[in-house]
Structure 1
Amino acid sequence: MKNIINIQTAIIMLLIFSMEVNSCMPSGRIRAKKHPPNYCNLVGDDICCIQGRIYTTYNCSPPSITHNSGSYNALLTLNTFEGGGYGPSQCDHHYHSDKLLVVALSSGWFDHGNRCLTNITINNEANGRSVKAMVVNECDSTSGCDKESSYLPPCGNNIVDASEAVWRALEIPINDWGELNVTWSDA
């Protein structure tokens, strides 16, 4: 009887863990339409939506790595906050120098602006470096492929979109800039 209870407990715990890991499922799909000629912004390595391709959207972001740890696995990406085709940051309606430690978070983590102008700590597990950066914008994972999004695809649900200063502070060689697996937490 004791073994049956232990097996049942293990199954329940596994189900709970599975639900936490999979609790951020896609919320929809967008079929990209053709963008106007010469309209699509190509800032840095941005890739415009491809006509007819289907892109996944998310209203959420992955939960913390372990229950209530407050630490999240993320993909660090490189972006500019100085303008150049993008609008001002959502949190303060200003542009920010790429020399400042600033980031945009995927929609779920951005939490309808509740993390605006707060600091997060980004950890580069590969070299042990960490940096605090201010959240100034949303990396929209709920929509894309339209004029408002400069015909760019929706962000993934696990993105920390960072300024050049963040990449430098994490001591990432310039040749490796673009995408990097990191963890982050509220500072």
Structure 2
Amino acid sequence: MKQSIVIFSILFSLFAALTISWANVESGNMAATMTINSFEKGGSGGGAAECDGKYHSNNTPIVALSSRWYNHGKRCFKSINIYYKGRSVKATVVDECDSSRGCANDIVDASLAVWNALAVSKGEWGETKVTWSDA
């Protein structure tokens, strides 16, 4: 009996932790590493965007999200807000940064338009810490 109570307590604690963690992912304000991506043909993004099979202009505020945030395409064409040093920009999700192919689990891979809108100094271009939320 005592063993059952201990096991139940452990399982309940794990369930509660996972539920809270999932709620944080869904509600936003997620810490992330923002990287630069070119969504144009021949750019660093590789192929066409996962959401629509098309290439997109780097002058458009768009992003690719790590697989867990991309969520099997459930965020395709949804807007997110990205926050950096008191500034924010709204960007549209058009692609996945595939975590099974080397992309870290905390990536917001952003077009140059996003970097420019956030006024990130050129010395920090490439990779910087941001937070984001669903718009």
Normalised by the shorter chain, which TM-score bucket? 0.7 to 0.9
Tell me the distance in 2 between the aligned counterparts of 1:133 and 1:171. Answer: 15
CA contact (8 A) 2:61 2:114 kept: yes
Shift of 1:92: 1.1
The structure-2 alpha-carbon separation of the partners of 1:78 and 1:64, relative to structure 1 and needing over 3 Å to count, comes to same
Structure with higher Rg: it is: 1
Match of 1:149 in 2: none
Match of 1:136 in 2: 94
Spell out structure 1 runs of 4+ moving beyond 6 A: none
Tell me the distance in 1 between the aligned counterparts of 2:103 and 2:114. Answer: 19
Tell me the distance in 1 between the aligned counterparts of 2:97 and 2:27. Answer: 23
Segments of structure 1 that go 5 or more residues without pairing to the other structure are 1-11, 24-61, 145-153
1:26-175 counterparts in 2 under 5 A? 64=24, 69-84=27-42, 86-124=46-84, 127-142=85-100, 144=101, 154-175=102-123
Aligned-residue CA RMSD in angstroms? 2.5
Shift of 1:69: 4.1
CA contact (8 A) 1:64 1:73 kept: no
Which structure is higher in helix share? Answer: 2
Segments of structure 2 that go 5 or more residues without pairing to the other structure are 1-9
Tell me the distance in 1 between the aligned counterparts of 2:56 and 2:66. Answer: 18
CA contact (8 A) 1:120 1:186 kept: yes
Match of 1:176 in 2: 124
CA contact (8 A) 1:63 1:72 kept: no
Shift of 1:173: 1.1
Q: Secondary structure at the match of 1:171?
A: coil
**TM-score, length-scaled by structure 2:** 0.80
Match of 2:6 in 1: none
Percent of aligned pairs sharing the same letter: 52
Shift of 1:70: 2.6
Structure number with higher relative contact order (C-alpha < 8 Å, ≥ 6 residues apart): 2
**TM-score, length-scaled by structure 1:** 0.59
Shift of 1:63: 6.6
Shift of 1:180: 1.0
